[in-house]
């Protein structure tokens, strides 16, 4: 129906994290950068600064008193969390910008909720399994389905056709991609985050979130596996949000990679539910 080459060419039309977001990502990953440098990078964009402050004060972080300046947000929440907030604001904007012409008719609010919930679920799983940098899991989870945003922008017609199959026939998004023989959201998404200059870890979790066994030998195998499990759990709890309506398929390889004992699952789900009630400020950004 559509070749991946044609789609990749159209990636040029997609929003790219602009200068400000690029700068925030670079500064936040520089171990020698100062609080002031990161605050200055965010302050270059006034609307971004106010949204980041709003999220910093959200129930999710539970800071007992109001944070009114960015320096404070960075000192209290840390570089990586503030970078995650900036990426969340950017991704939300990219999704709701949509395509210039035809509309695919998908429910963008639901898709956005899926992004936020998988970010939170990935972070929660990371906490429970003792992963050292849980903030990395948030951003990997947030961006895992970014290929769906790309599809929605570059080919609303293909997105509409995929959604028709998944919703009417109760199929998974990946099954619909196979049926229509269109490039997968995993491959398009991976190309996109690569183009944005995001780290290899994110490229691999976008590419492998439905098939974590592909990255079993990678140093990022555990992160890819955690994002996969988070995605399956959220798709089970909220079917249809991600435009996938079939039974989510759990990769047993992901459980092996993490040596995950099924007995931790109830604890994970309980903690996850506690957190999901606190993310309204992200969902209704």
Question: Distance between CA atoms of 282 and 7, rounded to whole angstroms?
Answer: 30
Question: Distance between CA atoms of 146 and 250, rounded to whole angstroms?
Answer: 20
In sequence order, which ranges of 78-210 are alpha helices (DSSP H)? Answer: 79-97, 108-128, 134-143, 146-154, 156-169, 173-180, 185-195, 200-208
Binding footprint of Fe ion, residue count (CB under 5 A) = 3
Contact 83, 28 (CB under 8 A): yes
Which one, 84 or 184, has the nearer CB to Fe ion? 184
The CB-of-207 to Fe ion minimum distance in angstroms stands at 10
Q: Tokens 């994970």 belong to which residue?
A: 268
Q: Which two tokens stand for residue 50?
A: 């106010």
Select from 85-93, 231-239, 251-259, 263-271 the region that touches Fe ion (CB under 5 A): 231-239
Contact 152, 95 (CB under 8 A): yes
Among the listed residues 215, 231, 254, 279, the single contact to Fe ion using CB under 5 A: 231
Contact 92, 285 (CB under 8 A): yes
Which one, 84 or 205, has the nearer CB to Fe ion? 205
The CB-of-101 to Fe ion minimum distance in angstroms stands at 25
The CB-of-211 to Fe ion minimum distance in angstroms stands at 10
Select from 63-71, 163-171, 226-234, 261-269 the region that touches Fe ion (CB under 5 A): 226-234
Which one, 136 or 231, has the nearer CB to Fe ion? 231
Contact 155, 218 (CB under 8 A): no
Residues 9-68 that bind Fe ion (CB under 5 A): none
Select from 33-41, 84-92, 121-129, 223-231 the region that touches Fe ion (CB under 5 A): 223-231
Residues 117-176 that bind Fe ion (CB under 5 A): 145
Among the listed residues 242, 257, 268, 279, the single contact to Fe ion using CB under 5 A: 242
DSSP secondary-structure letter at 275? Answer: H
The CB-of-71 to Fe ion minimum distance in angstroms stands at 35
Select from 17-25, 36-44, 154-162, 239-247 the region that touches Fe ion (CB under 5 A): 239-247
Q: How far is CA 136 from CA 62, 139, 224, in A?
A: 20, 6, 11
Select from 49-57, 222-230, 237-245, 277-285 the region that touches Fe ion (CB under 5 A): 237-245
CB atoms within 10 A of CB 162: 28
Which one, 33 or 248, has the nearer CB to Fe ion? 248
Angle between helical axes of 35-43 and 70-77 (0-180°, round to 10):
130
Interacting residue ranges for Fe ion, rule: CB under 5 A? 145, 231, 242
């Amino acid at each position: 129906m559509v070749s991946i080459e044609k789609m990749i060419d159209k990636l040029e039309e997609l929003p790219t994290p602009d200068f400000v977001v690029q700068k925030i990502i670079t500064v936040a990953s520089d171990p020698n950068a100062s609080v002031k440098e990161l605050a200055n990078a965010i302050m270059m964009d006034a609307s971004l600064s106010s949204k980041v402050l709003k999220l910093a004060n959200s129930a999710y972080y539970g800071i007992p008193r109001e944070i009114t300046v960015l320096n404070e947000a960075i000192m209290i929440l840390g570089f990586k969390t503030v970078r995650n907030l900036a990426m969340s604001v950017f991704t939300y904007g990219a999704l709701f910008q949509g395509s210039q012409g035809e509309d695919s008719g998908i429910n963008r609010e639901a898709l956005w909720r899926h992004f936020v919930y998988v970010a939170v679920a990935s972070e929660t799983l990371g906490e429970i399994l003792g992963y050292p940098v849980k903030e990395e899991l948030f951003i990997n989870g947030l961006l895992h389905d970014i290929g769906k945003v790309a599809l929605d922008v570059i080919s609303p017609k293909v997105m509409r056709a995929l959604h028709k199959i998944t919703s009417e026939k109760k199929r998974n998004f990946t099954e619909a991609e196979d049926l229509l023989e269109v490039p997968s959201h995993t491959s398009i998404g991976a190309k996109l985050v690569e183009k944005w200059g995001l780290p290899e870890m994110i490229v691999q979790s976008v590419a492998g979130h439905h098939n974590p066994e592909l990255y079993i030998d990678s140093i990022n195998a555990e992160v890819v596996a955690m994002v996969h499990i988070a995605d399956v759990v959220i798709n089970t709890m909220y079917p249809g949000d991600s435009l996938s309506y079939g039974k989510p398929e759990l990769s047993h390889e992901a459980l092996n990679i993490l040596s995950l004992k099924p007995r931790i699952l109830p604890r994970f789900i309980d903690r996850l539910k506690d957190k999901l009630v606190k993310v309204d400020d992200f969902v209704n950004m």
